Amino acid sequence: MQWPVRLRTSGEERTVDVDDGNTLLDAALGAGLPVARACGGGGLCGRCGLWVLEGGASLSPEAEDEADAKVRNRVPSEWRLSCRARVHGPLEVTATYW
């Protein structure tokens, strides 16, 4: 099953369909958008944080390692690390640098 993920940028909105269980990072890269990730998507640096605008319940629950990385890297609690959050339904996200 695939889910639509809307990625809102400052000047446009892109939608990409991602397979159930793929990450938000996969969705953003599939839409051709850059995602900061100093650790290469390993869930350590916290740079890939995305702000979920709609559909947050469609993401996998936040695991302890993601929560710890967010605290350690001062990522806002309402954001999700795109390398760790898995898509299980439609949603809309943005980033501060798009």
CATH of the domain at 76: 3.10.20.30
> What confidence tens digit (pLDDT) does each residue in 66-84 have?
999 999 999 999 999 999 9
> What confidence tens digit (pLDDT) does each residue in 20-53 have?
999 999 999 999 998 888 887 777 788 899 999 9
Q: Which residues contact 61 (CB under 8 A, 6 or more apart)?
A: none
The pLDDT, as a whole number, for residue 21 is: 97
d(CA 1, CA 88): 9
Domain enclosing residue 21, as ranges:
2-94
Structural domains counted in the chain:
1
d(CA 3, CA 20): 7
